[in-house]
Amino acid sequence: DAKTTQPTSMDCAEGRAANLPCNHSTISGNEYVYWYRQIHSQGPQYIIHGLKNNETNEMASLIITEDRKSSTLILPHATLRDTAVYYCIVSSESGGSNYKLTFGKGTLLTVNP
């Protein structure tokens, strides 16, 4: 799987939008961009994924650049409960329905009151 680069940490004010960047310059054509988050001492939580079009769901928006070498996860109105480590992962199908995920170090987002 292609590697990703994320900032180690970011701060955001409660109620403001949190924009988390991710570089994946070696992504290949069949690889998707996934975002997960992990709140302390819990299992990771799926947020969103995309291939090349921007995506939006009830949790967040995912903006992927046209060359697909980077993306941004947007939490439109961050709350204190959004404080977590956010992981950007690129992955492709590896046989059947096995989507293998390789976690990097992620970005620790701290939402401040």
Binding site for other proteins (CB under 8 A): 32, 34, 36, 38, 41-46, 49, 87, 93, 96-106
Residues 74, 17: contact at Cβ < 8 Å? Answer: yes
In terms of CB distance, is 53 or 97 closer to other proteins?
Answer: 97
Residue 42 identity (one-letter amino acid): Q
Between 43 and 113, whose beta carbon lies closer to other proteins?
43
Give the nearest distance from C-beta 42 to other proteins in angstroms.
6
> Could you tell me the end-to-end alpha-carbon distance of the chain, in angstroms, rounded to an integer?
37
Q: Closer to other proteins at the Cβ: 25 or 102?
A: 102
Give the whole-angstrom CA distance, residue 67 versus residue 54.
13
Q: How far is the CB of 17 from other proteins (least distance, A)?
A: 23
H-assigned helices in the chain: none
Q: What is the DSSP letter of 81?
A: G
Whole-number CA gyration radius for the chain: 14
CB of 31 to other proteins, least distance (A): 11
Q: Specify the residue, 49 or 52, whose C-beta has the smaller distance to other proteins.
A: 49
